[in-house]
Structure 1
Amino acid sequence: MSNFCVYLGSRDGRDPVFLEATRALGHEMAARGHGLVYGGARIGLMGALANAVLEKGGNVIGVMPDHLVEREQAHEGLPTLIRVNNMHERKASMAAHADAFIALPGGIGTMEELFEAWTWQYLGLHDKPIGVLDTAGFYSPLLAFLDSTVEHGFLNGRTRDSLIDAAEPAALLDALEARLAVSVT
């Protein structure tokens, strides 16, 4: 099936619902035959997602720059850990191995990666679907802001609509799979 590049936090967050949704997404991805491409860490939501995919027999590719192997605590139990020189190579490698992108809760790195992938889509550098898992309304303020950029004329509605959002892992995967099916045909 497809590989989903997932951007997410190297921390768990304060509410256990984030960890639960992350694990549910990993289990659902593996059950549907999808592989995971992610930043390669064994900690936080990143490690929880990789472990959830692996628990259900799914494939996982981690990508981590050498300077972060110790800091982000590289996951040593991955079938594939690609070590790269820097963050630019990390993001390029993750994108090259992915058929779609998902953002889960995370910090500034997650936001930067999400917006870069979305910008690349907007510029026509790829046509891979992009979605956010809006667990416990985490992304609701951002989604409202993006809607306001349309209202103020800084973003067109079609571009805004290209960012898929759902509150539940299965619903998000359904929407991304539907978009993948359209781009393949």
Structure 2
Amino acid sequence: MKKITVYCGSNTGKDIAYKEGTIQLAQEMIKRDLDLVFGAGRVGLMGILADEMIHAGKNVFGIIPQKLVDIEVAHQGCTELTIVETMRDRKWLMAEKGDGFIAMAGGIGTLEELFEIMTLNQLGYIQKPLALYNIHGYYDKLLDFLRHATKAGFLHQAQVDLLIVSDDPVELLDRMKAFEPRYIEKWEVK
């Protein structure tokens, strides 16, 4: 694992824990000589993460649609800044470039990216580690919902078990490194 795609907010959130956790993740990635693939925003948690990585001399690959460049949120300090046409293009390129994925605190876009990677893994299009960096319990309610979806019979427990969850960046990256891909048959045969 060399390049980690990180999905996170274009806002910083109301609790300082999100910013602090972002810096801790960046420091651990730097320590492990990992590169960053991200949505190329200069704002929010995205900007904080990228700035930390850039200041340490790490490779930072930003991928952003032209529309967001036009409203001046693109991070110009990226090692490589790729401008694409659509959000869909951005998501696919971020999925292709990363050797593993981390979803941090974020809004609808982050949730969409998280579920897209879960789906790609589930269907076998990719087989890469996916982690929830659960800073300040941000994803606790989502994890409750995934348990509910499993109990209701719409999600297999084995699929949920592939999701790496931790509030500790050291544990998170250790578990991602140890990830072994598994294809799980999700279809019910009647």
Question: In the TM superposition, what are the counterparts of 1:17-96 in structure 2 within 5 Å?
Answer: 17-71=17-71, 73-96=73-96
Question: In the TM superposition, what are the counterparts of 1:1-185 in structure 2 within 5 Å?
Answer: 1-71=1-71, 73-179=73-179, 182-183=180-181
Contact 1:47 1:75 in 2 (8 A): yes
Structure 1 vs Structure 2 CA RMSD: 1.1
**What letter matches 1:141 in structure 2?**
K
- Alignment partners' CA distance in 2, 1:55 and 1:26: 11
What TM-score, normalized by structure 1, do the two folds share?
0.94
Give percent identity, aligned residues only.
Answer: 43
- Alignment partners' CA distance in 2, 1:5 and 1:77: 17
What TM-score, normalized by structure 2, do the two folds share?
0.92
Query: What is the CA-CA distance between 1:57 and the residue it aligns to?
Result: 2.3
**What letter matches 1:166 in structure 2?**
S
Equivalent residue pairs, number:
181
**What letter matches 1:49 in structure 2?**
L
Query: What is the CA-CA distance between 1:76 and the residue it aligns to?
Result: 0.7
Contact 1:7 1:103 in 2 (8 A): yes
**What letter matches 2:141 in structure 1?**
P
Deviations 1:130-161 (A, max 9, x none): 00000010001101110111111111110010
Task: Provide structure 1 residue ranges, at least 5 long, that are not aligned to the other structure.
Answer: none
Runs ≥4 in structure 1, deviation > 3 angstroms? none
- Alignment partners' CA distance in 2, 1:69 and 1:62: 11
Query: What is the CA-CA distance between 1:72 and the residue it aligns to?
Result: 5.8
Larger Rg: 1 or 2? Answer: 2
SS in structure 2 of the partner of residue 88 of structure 1: helix
Q: Which moved more, 1:121-130 or 1:67-76?
A: 67-76
